[in-house]
Amino acid sequence: MHHYNWNRRDFLKGASAATMAALAASLPTSQIITGCSPKPTASADTVILLWMAGGMAHTETFDPKRFTPYETGMEGNRVLSTFPSMPTVLDGIQFSEGLQSIGGVMDKGTLIRSYMAADMGHILHSRHQYHWHTCYEPPQTVAAPHIGSWIAKELGPKNPVIPAFIDIGQRFTVGEAEELKAFHTAGFLGNEFGPFFIPDPSQGLDSVRPPAGMDSQRFERRNQLYNELINNSPVGEFGSDYQRESLRRSMEQAYALLNSPESKAFDLSTEPRNSYDIYNTGKFGLGCLLARRLTEQGARFISVTTEYEPFKGWDTHENGNSRLVEMKKQIDGPVAQLIKDLDQSGHLDRTMIVLASEFSRDMMVEGRPDATVKEQVNQPDILNDPKFYGMHRHFTDGCSMLMFGGGIKKGFVYGKTADERPCKTIENPVKIDQIHQTIYHALGIPPETNYEIEKRPFYTTPDGKGQIIKELLV
């Protein structure tokens, strides 16, 4: 595998070039597939991605190791987990303290302990998040579609007035905004398959109604102006007929939602107070509530993120232990309640939920033990300040992931990491193309699915070679 020393500027240059190439592309042409495998029987209709943005340490969450309490002057290499382990509903399986609620629903899903993030040289959140969400390592000569866009394109909306791909919780007014935008896109598939953004779930209703004071006639005039802007924009001037029509269709979909009864699902104020209070741990928790309500109304793909903002959330470059206390409070109750609610309503059977992060963390090892990469944290060998007590470095050799519903096995554990540093994968390694292909398989999307772009096929996974993980499926 090639190793590149890409920095953020290089990444953005590549992404921008790919975007312009996508605008210039004509209608993506579906390939005629000969000798292909039969279309898989779908076990899921909807996917919810719960994205732990920033690098969730596996040894501090779903794969705890030996607990070592903080002591001033202690050796950093002694610390594997900064939280004690707690039992889950599964015999012999423990989670890190603070995740007991999620541990209580693991009889309804699968725990993966052996996901391995790609070795791409210099580790950047934006590059690894791009890789996870698109299945392609940046940069690409064309704009690679987000997994949600592939699903929206191949399956279409379940409910014609609910956007097929909804993204909850990520703002683009925070650090690394342009890098985040690079993979929050449908790429060459066209804007109508891109995400419907809801930056703040508590204001979700504002996303589907005109601003205060705007009547229907004024809104209609704005819609006409929007079409004029399309014609006079770079897309209108340099893009293809397909790209222009895709932009118009995306606006038509938004207009249909605005006038539909289903738009009430975005109004969290109508949720019963006892339920609302369980989810109300912050933006992520309310995002889980909104995802549940939208699933019940027929959404196809929903992403809910803890939001990536440098040096915040799971991006624990200091104060790792204290920060994770707060992060666990944000996710534990809402994630568990989402599983319970969908199970009780009967939606979990056909809804696949995936909880994941771009990579893990370790106090002493950057990247993977056998690869030399740039050190990004000055972690002392001797700890004389509690802010260094926690998992600060980026670790790619062993990550945890949860999957529920939609044909996923219940009460199942897959993969294993070493109990001593480096706590790397030692059984059943999992790569991102396997995760994507397993999701597509559960949705009934054939592995050979591709479109011709720049006179070559572009597959859902690189070269269409992603293999499903059969052991995860019922």
Which of 159-173, 182-196, 459-473 is predicted most confidently?
A: 459-473
Per-residue confidence band for 33, with pLDDT thresholds at 50, 70 and 90: very low
Distance (Å, rounded) from C-alpha 17 to C-alpha 411?
45
* pLDDT tens per residue, range 50-94: 999 999 999 999 999 999 999 999 999 999 999 999 999 999 999
Burial (0-12, 13-18, 19+ Cβ within 10 Å), 92: exposed
* Domains, the chain, ordered by start: 8-472 (3.40.720.10)
456-459 and 450-453 beta bridge pairing: antiparallel
pLDDT of 4? 41
Residue 23 reports pLDDT greater than 50? no
Question: Which one, of 321, 426, 416, lies nearest residue 61 by Cα?
Answer: 321
Q: In 34-163, where does DSSP find H-type helix?
A: 100-103, 125-134, 147-155
- What does pTM read for this prediction? 0.87
What is the pLDDT confidence band of residue 472, given thresholds at 50, 70 and 90?
A: very high
User: Which has more pLDDT, 380 or 100?
Assistant: 100
User: What confidence score (pLDDT) does residue 378 get?
Assistant: 80
Whole-number pLDDT of residue 35: 44
Q: pLDDT band at residue 21, thresholds of 50, 70 and 90?
A: very low
Of the candidates 129, 76, 115, the one whose C-alpha atom is nearest the C-alpha of residue 310 is: 129
Of 138-142, 342-346, 447-451, 470-474, the poorest mean pLDDT is in: 138-142
Q: How far apart are CA 315 and CA 473, in angstroms?
A: 32
Residues 6+ apart with CB under 8 A from 435: 115, 354, 356, 401, 469
pLDDT band at 1; cut points 50, 70, 90: very low
Q: What is the pLDDT of residue 206?
A: 81
Q: What is the pLDDT of residue 426?
A: 98
Share of the chain above pLDDT 70, in %: 82
The residue with greater pLDDT, 374 or 164, is 164
Report the SS3 class of residue 133: helix
Q: What is the dihedral of CA 300, 340, 282, 294, to 10 degrees?
A: 20
Indicate the pLDDT class of residue 211, thresholds 50, 70 and 90: low
* Averaged pLDDT, 366-372: 81
What per-residue confidence (pLDDT) applies to 262?
A: 84
- Of the ranges 115-124, 180-189, 263-272, which one carries the lowest mean pLDDT score? 115-124
Please enumerate in sequence order all residues whose Cβ is within 8 A of that of 319, keeping only pairs 6 or more positions apart, or say none: 386, 387, 390
Do residues 406 and 440 make contact, with C-beta atoms less than 8 angstroms apart?
A: no
What's the rounded mean pLDDT across residues 441-470?
A: 96
The more confident residue out of 205 and 402 is: 402
Give, for 293, the enclosing helix (H) or strand (E): helix 283-296
- Between 46-50, 58-62, 115-119, 235-239, the lowest mean confidence (pLDDT) is in 235-239
**Is residue 395 pLDDT above 80, yes or no?**
yes
Q: What angle do CA 144, 148, 153 make, to 5 degrees?
A: 80
Q: Considering the chain, what is the average pLDDT of its residues?
A: 87
- Length of the chain in residues, anyone? 474
pLDDT above 50: residue 44: yes
